[in-house]
Structure 1
Amino acid sequence: MNPKELQTQIALGEDSKRQFKADVRNAESLAAELAAFANSDGGRIFIGVADDGSTPGLSPKDVSRINQLISNAASQLVRSPLTVQTENVPLGKGRVVIVLTVPKGIDKPYFDKNGVIWLKTGSDKRRVNSKEELRRLFQFTDQFHADELPTKVGIDKLDKLRFRDFLRDVYKCDFPDSAEELLQLAQNMNLATDDGFLNLAGVLMFAERPEWIKPQFVVKAIRYPGNAIHVSDYLDTEDFEGPLKKVFDDTLGFIMRNLHKVQAGRGVNALGLPEIPENVFEELLVNALIHRDYLVNAPIRLFIFDNRIKIISPGHLPNNLTVEKIRTGNSNIRNPILISYVAKGLLPYHGLGSGIKRALEQWPQIEFADDHDGCLFTVTLTRKPVEELDLVDTGAPKTVNEPENEPGNGPKTVNEPENEPGNGPKTVNEPENEPGNGPKTVNEPENEPGNGPKTVNEPENEPGNGPKTVNEPENEPETVNEPENALQQRIIELIRSNPTMSYDELAQLTQKGRTSIMRHIAKLKTLGLLKRIGPKKGGYWKIIE
């Protein structure tokens, strides 16, 4: 470094990478400074430069003394010892400045003589006082991982059915017969500590009620109207808790029910595709759940706006990982136990580091923000304006099994009105036009009134020749949406009996998964058959007759 470069550095002032000292006489104080730089990102100490940026410099005698002091502090007073570099930059008139370069530590954390761990905070340093900060320092060097943390619960808190199914499906083995065998198995699977307690990974994946043990590790989701956060105004909100797989499924279901459905070139009978591919959210949710910092006691937050969707995870990117690196597929393992079980099929998984790339390939409008100060990592997906989407018609779906140009061509179902009044669906149990043709079912109207008994669900302009039942007003054909399958009909019946019924209660009574129930309810909403009144807690369902 030449004098001009030195002056350029001094002009930048002190910060977390540069520190000025007019002189150094205390080796222990210097050792604390060295440890702080090494525990952070490294930096330089300019000795012979005053706090105000002036350069009194050092005499040759001072240089000899300080170099000896630096050597002693780095090798004897810092644990583990540091390898530092010094450079003497001349100022003229026999005065010099010592530029002391401290590298970023590769054996963190570093302690001073008294066992104190120091970190840089701006241009100053501070002690590490919390267990969370200490654990994070160990985590950065792969000496410690958050998902290995012991909890205060034993194996009796395992969800035995969930764990039994996992053992059967993945390891092809039976659930242990005794508590001793179960504990030994959990320890062998790296889910329990030597002291008999479940670790954090064991709780998150297989505990019956993880939220009772670690209530902060949940997902909080809100669908806001418009493009701004509101204090009390929202369209949909839910907190997702339980084992990791359940949290994933329920959060994905929340997102999918709050997306638009687009035609995407599909037929008129198709239900449509989500405006953003479902696989994109699978990748991003898996990334959020297994790579978040579990040393930060905060939930994952999901915000859905009209123009964007945000997933906010506790913890910034670890070590030297940057947004540019993750875009190209680089990754660091923060929670190795969770990742190992996700790779066994616990969650959708296609390889370490490839999830972000796959999400970007399917939806390039994704931005990432790595906030070190706020200790947050945010993913923002931009939604297309609704006027640019080819939305699926939300009217009644139509199913046609066979064309019908003439009477007797086979059954078909049409749920949309015909062009002429009186042509509503009917059932004809006797032959039309010619006797002897056998019974047939026709759900579309005939060109002439039927000659036998029939049931008419829509009005006709002329009365039929046989008995009929008319459920709609005459002369005004109308399309009425109905549940599409037996499960949706069952959901309607259960809600009619108890309008405050929850997703979990519906899932239990129908013996279906919670995510499946949520998707069918979303469809019933789309069909205009069901409406939610009020918030998740305290609200109720209203059936639209």
Structure 2
Amino acid sequence: MNKEQILEIIRCGENSRVQFKEHFTTQKQMAEELVAMANAKGGMIIIGCKDKTGEIVGLSYDEVQVASRELGNTAQEHVKPTIYLQTETIPVNEDRSILVAYVDEGVNKPYKNLSGDIYVKQGADKRRVTENAEILRLFHQSGTYYPDHEKVRGTNMADVNRSLVEEYCTKNFGKPVDDMGVPYERLLENLHILASNGECTLAGLLFFGLAPQQYMPSMMIKAVAFYGNDMGGLEYRDSKDIVGTVPLLFEQGMSFLKANLHSVQAGQGFNSVGKLEISQIALEEILQNALVHREYIANAPIRILIFDNRVEIISPGTLPSGMTVDDLRFGNTLQRNPLMAQFCSRTMQYRGIGTGILRAIKEGAQMEFDNSESGNQFAVRFRRPVVGVATSAMEGAKGVNLMDLYPDLTERCPKLPKTERNNARVVLHLCELPKSVVELMEATGYESRTSFRRKILTPLLEADLLKPVLGDKNSPKQRYILQDSALMS
């Protein structure tokens, strides 16, 4: 790092990865700083800079030598397990320099000082960790603790759904349970569905349990489809708490997405089944990843949030230690929950080889990844088509902008729900020629005739924007066409 780069960092002030020290203090105090950075995302300690003002005071040659030696001793003797530092001296004038110590994110968390105290970064400061759950999270990040192997207190073999075990054995071993050659309870232990004391493992309960949420109520999906784009809205289209085993959570989570997203023809034949406006493969891959790789220590559900302009799938816990969003994009992976990953790879579409994100990206879905340290969650946001369901219905109508069609629609059709205005514009545009209900439903992605009539067709008819057209012997079905007055918009 050159002088200009370090000066720019200093100008920006302290943060969770940059700490200023005017001079080397004591080994005890420096150990606390090193422990906090190693337990977080790493960072740098800049010695020779006032921590309150950022003023560079620098160190003499002898001070640099002492500070560098003391830092090395601190990292080796006052931090457990030992961490390894890199230091760099950067001159700031003829006789003064600053010393930069680089601390990598630790791979053997949690790190402690000689007193056994654990520290983590809290913004530019540090704090002592005392909660067991947070200490377990540090072990989990280091890859030395797997909560999906943990025993679920109070459970036993009676909480396991034998029919699911039968399906699993038949699919993976080609034998029913009774032909596996070991007693049923021993088989459950061999499969790691039960622990050695007879209680269910967390992964075993979540994958094969009769009622997993009876013991782990937060291991569920909360799904909400909102009106508009604001999570704070009081009204929503649909809401569901999804419970059951992991395969059932996946199945019903996808059903919720399909029910609340639109299907479009996208150049397919008239009688073909429409495609989801967002790639179904991409949604499946991201939802499976959320279920398999969520942080099971976190007492929070997975969330599926559907807005007019986006879909969010939010998983408790950030990416595993050392992983970045770029790693995901290149197919690099770490299995946070190896037992759960094993069950899923043998039963579901999940493959467990790190290619899920790559497949989702290849599908062309417009995705954003948000690895939120402060919120302890990982979110994937899918962008919905700008004008919602209507884009494919407008294919071939070159130069047509939905928002330019029928600009006075709100005033002329007050009973039309505000969330259906773009769909109504598509219907009016298509009905310049007679169209059947089936054609209009397919164009706007509706599967329920009742909902389509109630939300769109009836308001347009009552506002005298559409009128029915009687069928003839060639087209006996009733169709709908624009009223002459609607053409004047």
- Cα distance change on mapping 1:183 and 1:111 into 2, 3 Å: farther
Worse-superposed segment, 265-274 or 243-252: 265-274
Distance in 2 (CA, whole Å) between partners of 1:357 and 1:38 is 31
1:40 and 2:40 equivalent?
yes
Determine which of 241, 244, 265 is the counterpart of 1:242.
244
Aligned residue for 1:150, secondary structure, equals: coil
1:389 and 2:392 equivalent?
yes
Listed as ranges, the gaps of 5+ residues in structure 2 are 395-435, 439-445, 456-489
Distance in 2 (CA, whole Å) between partners of 1:249 and 1:318 is 26
Letter in 2 for 1:352: I
Deviations 1:203-233 (A, max 9, x none): 1101110111111111111222333336442
Tell me the TM-score normalised to structure 1 length: 0.66
Distance in 2 (CA, whole Å) between partners of 1:93 and 1:274 is 66
Aligned to 1:302: 304
Shift, 1:339, TM fit: 1.1
Aligned to 1:336: 338
Mapping for residues 461-480 of structure 1, pairs under 5 Å = none
Aligned to 2:449: 526
Letter in 2 for 1:274: L
Distance in 2 (CA, whole Å) between partners of 1:143 and 1:61 is 42
CA contact (8 A) 2:341 2:352 kept: no
Shift, 1:202, TM fit: 0.8
Percent identity among equivalent residues? 34
Aligned to 2:190: 188
CA contact (8 A) 1:148 1:201 kept: yes
Mapping for residues 299-448 of structure 1, pairs under 5 Å = 299-345=301-347, 347-384=348-385, 385=387, 386-390=389-393
Aligned to 2:203: 201
- Cα distance change on mapping 1:526 and 1:383 into 2, 3 Å: farther
Shift, 1:112, TM fit: 0.7
CA contact (8 A) 1:80 1:111 kept: yes
Shift, 1:200, TM fit: 1.3
Shift, 1:88, TM fit: 4.2
CA contact (8 A) 2:223 2:305 kept: yes
Aligned to 1:501: none
Shift, 1:87, TM fit: 3.9
CA contact (8 A) 2:224 2:238 kept: yes
Tell me the TM-score normalised to structure 2 length: 0.73
CA RMSD of aligned residues (A): 3.3
Shift, 1:129, TM fit: 1.8
Distance in 2 (CA, whole Å) between partners of 1:360 and 1:5 is 35
Aligned to 1:13: 13
Letter in 2 for 1:113: L
Distance in 2 (CA, whole Å) between partners of 1:133 and 1:293 is 12
- Cα distance change on mapping 1:105 and 1:234 into 2, 3 Å: closer
1:170 and 2:93 equivalent?
no
Letter in 1 for 2:19: Q
Listed as ranges, the gaps of 5+ residues in structure 1 are 392-478, 482-521, 533-545
Instruction: Tell me which of the two structures has the higher relative contact order, counting C-alpha pairs closer than 8 angstroms and 6 or more residues apart.
Output: 2
Shift, 1:162, TM fit: 1.7
CA contact (8 A) 1:224 1:230 kept: no
Deviations 1:7-58 (A, max 9, x none): 4443332222222223334222222222222222222223333222334444
1:30 and 2:30 equivalent?
yes
Distance in 1 (CA, whole Å) between partners of 2:5 and 2:259 is 59
Determine which of 219, 222, 230 is the counterpart of 2:221.
219
CA contact (8 A) 2:151 2:195 kept: yes
Shift, 1:374, TM fit: 1.3
Shift, 1:334, TM fit: 1.3
Distance in 2 (CA, whole Å) between partners of 1:527 and 1:125 is 58
Aligned residue for 2:248, secondary structure, equals: helix
Mapping for residues 495-510 of structure 1, pairs under 5 Å = none
Mapping for residues 128-167 of structure 1, pairs under 5 Å = 128-152=129-153, 153-167=155-169
Deviations 1:143-200 (A, max 9, x none): 112312221122221112222222223223443699x944432232223333332121
- Cα distance change on mapping 1:233 and 1:16 into 2, 3 Å: closer
Shift, 1:298, TM fit: 1.0
Letter in 1 for 2:43: G
For the pair shown, the structure with the greater C-alpha radius of gyration is 1
Shift, 1:342, TM fit: 1.3
CA contact (8 A) 1:298 1:314 kept: yes
CA contact (8 A) 1:224 1:304 kept: yes
- Cα distance change on mapping 1:243 and 1:72 into 2, 3 Å: same
- Cα distance change on mapping 1:526 and 1:100 into 2, 3 Å: same
Letter in 1 for 2:304: L
Determine which of 258, 261, 264 is the counterpart of 2:263.
261
Distance in 2 (CA, whole Å) between partners of 1:267 and 1:71 is 70
Letter in 1 for 2:17: K
Shift, 1:529, TM fit: 11
Which protein has the bigger helix share?
2
CA contact (8 A) 2:278 2:365 kept: no
Letter in 2 for 1:390: A
Distance in 1 (CA, whole Å) between partners of 2:2 and 2:363 is 51
Letter in 1 for 2:356: G
Aligned residue for 1:222, secondary structure, equals: strand
Letter in 2 for 1:48: G
Aligned residue for 1:235, secondary structure, equals: strand
Deviations 1:315-362 (A, max 9, x none): 2222233333322322221111111111112x2124522222222322
Aligned to 1:84: 85
Distance in 1 (CA, whole Å) between partners of 2:126 and 2:360 is 40
Letter in 2 for 1:245: P
Aligned residue for 1:198, secondary structure, equals: coil
Deviations 1:40-80 (A, max 9, x none): 22222233332223344445664555444333322211111
Deviations 1:456-511 (A, max 9, x none): xxxxxxxxxxxxxxxxxxxxxxx999xxxxxxxxxxxxxxxxxxxxxxxxxxxxxx
Shift, 1:378, TM fit: 1.9
